[in-house]
Structure 1
Amino acid sequence: MKELEENNAAIFAGAGLSAGSGHADWSGLVKDFADELNLDIKKETDLIALVQYHLNANAHNRHQLNQKIANEFHHGKQPNENHKILAKLPINTFWTTNYDRLIETALTNENKVVDVKYVEKHLTTTIHGRKAVVYKMHGDVEHPDDAILSKDDYERYHKTHATFLNALAGDLVSKTFLFVGFSFTDPNLEFVLSRIRVTFTSNQRPHYAIFREVKQDKDEPKTDFEYRKIKQELFIQDLMRFNIKVLLVKEYSQITSILNEIENRFKRKTIYISGSAHEYGGWDSSTAESFISSLSKKLIESDYKIVSGFGLGVGSFVINGVLEEIYLNKKENLEDQLLLRPFPQGKKGKELWPTYRKDMISYAGVSLFVFGNKLENNELVVADGVRKEFEIAKQQNVLLIPVGATGSMAKKLYDEISTDFEKYFELGVKSDFEKLGDSSLTPEDLIESILTFIDKVTK
């Protein structure tokens, strides 16, 4: 998690990541070639050699091979849930052996500027404002002639793609990788990993991989299954030579759950503050303003990030607290600690509010609700916008923390959660939650209660 927060995380994606979108894995891609050679694809383990045999049998003519790549990866497949989660995370380095364009599509769908590299000359240019770089070390579907598939291609790789190997080595040394959908049978990666191990010996950066446990196939003899199981265990142990730690899952669907948990844990360090106020109930303006500023300051001090929609009577004081902590103490970049998104105004602007709210809240793992009232036709009413943000946050599985002691809509939301508490939180934190509704607490004590509750529910 720390590597994510510090933008030191990277992804290495294999064919298994795209298989969830319906693309063929390596075996599926070359099965027809095996059939032509009278080989059983189920018995073949060296698929690179199989492709070479096919080329040898066809006088090294790549037409069939190129056509196969074009056909397999041009069927309008869409990014799957794993692509989408990875694209949302603050990861700016992606390496892949896949030819498809699902990673870059998922990143683009998240409004990220993507710099794609699939030939060496791409490495010399940098797209302005890029938020992610995708290194396609084996080529791209639009250029099947240059795709790396056969033994010939792999044997020449250290000459034809030397800069890619150097760039990958640099990233493996400086970033922590998560390998997803990758089998570690690629000679190019092994080449790089082995040289890093020799150079850094016992001082290698840790990396992680997700594998599915070996499962017994239908009608497979138990002795064969046990043999494959032992081989997997030995292989996992061998990866430790490269400081790659493996997490085993029973089903591929569990990978999505793991990535979801990573996303949720990361997002819980970002808090969306929802609220507006024409008046502050039992508090005078000065006390309320100090409360909001101090709360925001304390959150930043505790290493949380804040998202705010600049709600009337709340947003400006959130900013004051954040600025005080960042500029006086943390000395960090404001953009890394505060995401400020004032609502667009006017008739057309208001039409965008539902989408705008969803976008803002999507950055956070915690939503904090304070006050929530407005003046409407010269009458003080609860703020329906705060209610809408509560519902959006609930739909996005964001932790909901209304501070009932501030009154108005926050009190209504607090009461709702109190009546069905176990639906939202574990029973063990109920006494801490009750303090958030205690209007007799001083603003200072209320702030401490809020911080304590957030700390407990985000662990």
Structure 2
Amino acid sequence: MKQKVKQFVERYLKEIIEGNAAVFAGAGLSAPAGFVNWRELLRPIAEELDLDADIETDFVALAQFHRNKHHGNKGQQNQLLIERFGVPKSPTANHDMLAKLPIETYWTTNYDDLIEKALLAHGKTPDVKYTEAHLALTRRGRDAVVYKMHGDISNPQDAVLAKDDYERYHVNRAAFVTALSGDLVSRTFVFLGFSFTDPNLDYILSRVRLNLEENQRKHYCFFKKRVKLTGETEEAFKNAVVRQELVIADLLRFNIEAVLVDEYAEIDEALQLLHRLYRSKSVFVSGSAEIFEPWGRAKVDAFGRILGSELAKHGYRVVTGLGKGVGDAVLSGVVDQVYRSSKSQLDEALLLRPFPQQIAAGERDAVWKRYREELIGQAGVAIFLLGNKIEDGKNVIADGMKQEFEIAVAEKLIVIALGTSGHAASEIFDQVAGKPDAYFVDLSAEAKSAVLMLGTLDAEPEVMVSEIIKAIAVSTKK
């Protein structure tokens, strides 16, 4: 992965963690789902006008020429929008990756509903706004706001498409101009699948630049490096390369930094890395016990408190279901550390979700499995210790912890099993140690060694926790 891509991930991750990140989605983000671009959308219109859609570049004017020919009637254009964007499609992997991140602000010029679908699929409530009336309302319990500045396929008659629509935009949709201007000032955007040929956005960016000048907020965009097209002349190719360089340089006027990639797959990789690094700042702690041997209750309690405290101290968020006999000590360590520090809030250091007990016996297994999946899906690292329970008067392995291990593996978490604590954790460690390359595919040799060493380590709690912090750091290193 290119250094500039890694730099983007590092900087944008910081904005995500601080709650300042925003996304601006263009047609390129929806294209892999099967939606057409402007050229293909307006190809039938071009043919009716005896124009070649493959040569045309000003599609706003093209739509206007067609509307002029039909004396301002938008019927055929509305029908085109319905036919091309009204067919249900599924969100892409990149939509899915973005929806998993705690990004609260989305802007798009697209008419489709892929962003909303991706958010809903991850249990989030989108507040979708595609008319000025929507801007004055707030959906209760919303997790993200999706601003559709050119309209929505459910309301094609008001979609922004032709030159008339653009010329009247600052009158008919003035509130969108104000809202986007404000977000460009207060949030850090990444522009995805966007070509920067939209006159509305150009106007808004210019207004922000003139008002703030050198104090503009930093934003990012991705461009695929121009390559020679089939049948393209050398002269045309050189012109295209120079033009792309000039566009990238011009975007710096608006403090938009272009990240140049050779293949679109590099953008996918960047978003995947972004998600993985965000999750790596959250550590799932899985532990339960009725019997505390071989460590003993005093050591388990001390270990839990120190682990919770040190994870919070080093900027990690502890994710836990508050397992019996273990969870309270971890919780106490997190709370104590946060309340002694002036640098963090409890919500930033802890995601606590005790398991619901009043679930009908016939439904409990399915409900708890889903509960575990949602909880573990928040983290990038999982720590397992002990894992036993009393069943029919006998002490047995906690099958819930084994299920949590399976989910953690499926979610590609870094698994740290403290084998010397015994019980389920010991079995998990033996399974992982038997096939380390299968369970630690993305880890370096150094990271594998650090994680596996923890499975056989039996020392004072302070020493064990110190080694865990080191192992997490080396395992999640960019």
Name the TM tier (shorter chain): over 0.9
1:349-428 aligned at under 5 Å gives the runs: 349-423=364-438, 424=440, 425-428=443-446
For residue 202 of structure 1, give the secondary structure of its aligned residue in structure 2. helix
3-state SS of paired residue (2:94): helix
Q: Distance in 1 between matches of 2:211 and 2:248?
A: 22
Q: Is the 8 A contact 1:403 1:411 kept in 2?
A: yes
1:35 aligns with 2:47: yes
Q: 1:431 to 1:399 in 2, by over 3 A?
A: closer
C-alpha distance in 2 between matches for 1:188 and 1:271: 43
Q: Map residues 307-346 of structure 1 onto 2, 5 A cutoff.
A: 307-330=319-342, 332-345=344-357, 346=360
User: For 1:54 and 1:422, how far apart are their aligned partners in 2?
Assistant: 60
Query: Contact conserved, 1:118 with 1:137, CA < 8 A, in 2?
Result: yes
Distance in 2, Cα, partners of 1:441 & 1:206 = 47
Could you tell me which residue of structure 2 aligns to residue 445 of structure 1? 463
Mark the runs of 5 or more structure 1 residues left unpaired by the alignment.
none
C-alpha distance in 1, partners of 2:340/2:48?
71
- Please, what is the CA RMSD of the aligned residues? 1.7
Alignment of 1:146-161 (within 5 A): 146-161=158-173
Counterpart of 1:281?
A: 293
| Percentage identity across paired residues of the two chains | 44
Q: Tell me, what secondary structure is at the counterpart of 1:20?
A: helix
Aligned pairs (5 A) from 1:55-454: 55-330=67-342, 332-345=344-357, 346-347=360-361, 348-423=363-438, 424=440, 425-454=443-472
Per mean C-alpha deviation after superposition, the further-off stretch among 160-169 and 216-225 is 216-225
- Counterpart CA distance in 1 for 2:237 and 2:401 is 57
Q: How many residues align structurally? A: 459
Against the structure 1 CA distance between its residues 227 and 118, is the aligned structure 2 distance closer, same or farther, given a 3 Å change threshold? Answer: same
Note the C-alpha offset of 1:343: 2.3
C-alpha distance 127-430 of structure 1, shift in aligned 2 (>3 A): closer
Residues 68-114 of structure 1: per-residue CA shift (max 9 Å, x gap): 11111111111111111111110010000011111112112222122
* Structure 2: runs of 5 or more not aligned: 1-12
Question: Separation in 1 of the partners of 2:229 and 2:104?
Answer: 38
The TM-score with structure 1 as length reference comes to 0.96
Note the C-alpha offset of 1:266: 0.5
In structure 2, the residue corresponding to 1:133 is in which secondary structure?
strand
> What's the secondary structure of 1:183's corresponding residue?
coil
Q: For the residues of structure 2 that align with 1:440 and 1:273, how far apart are their CA atoms?
A: 18
Relative to structure 2, which stretch is displaced further, 163-172 or 309-318?
A: 309-318
CA drift of 1:331 comes to: 6.9
User: What secondary structure does 1:201 align onto?
Assistant: helix
SS at match of 1:280: coil
Q: Which amino acid aligns with 2:296?
A: D
Query: Residue deviations 1:394-445, cap 9 Å, x none?
Result: 1111111112232222223223333433441321235533541344411110
Larger CA deviation: 344-353 vs 47-56? 344-353
Shift of 1:221: 2.0
* Paired residues of 2:306 and 2:461 also in contact (CA < 8 A): no
Q: C-alpha separation between the residues in 1 aligned to 2:338 and 2:348?
A: 10
Asked whether the equivalents of residues 418 and 457 of structure 2 are also in contact (C-alpha less than 8 Å), the reply is no
Is the Cα contact below 8 Å between 2:190 and 2:219 reproduced in 1?
Answer: yes
Tell me the alpha carbon deviations over residues 141-184 of structure 1, each in whole angstroms, 9 at most, x when there is no partner: 11111111111111111111111111101100100001011111
In 1, are the aligned partners of 2:25 and 2:193 still within 8 Å (CA)? yes
TM-score normalised by length of structure 2? 0.92
Mark the CA change 1:210 to 1:401 in structure 2 (over 3 Å): closer, same or farther: same
How far 1:330 sits from its partner (Å)?
4.2
Alpha-carbon distance between aligned partners in 1 of 2:466 and 2:370, rounded to the nearest angstrom: 33
Whole-Å separation in 2 of the counterparts to 1:207 and 1:133: 19
Distance 2:379 2:225 in 1: 33
Q: 1:299, 1:417 → 2: CA distance?
A: 23
Give the Cα–Cα distance (whole angstroms) in 1 for the partners of residues 343 and 204 of structure 2: 38
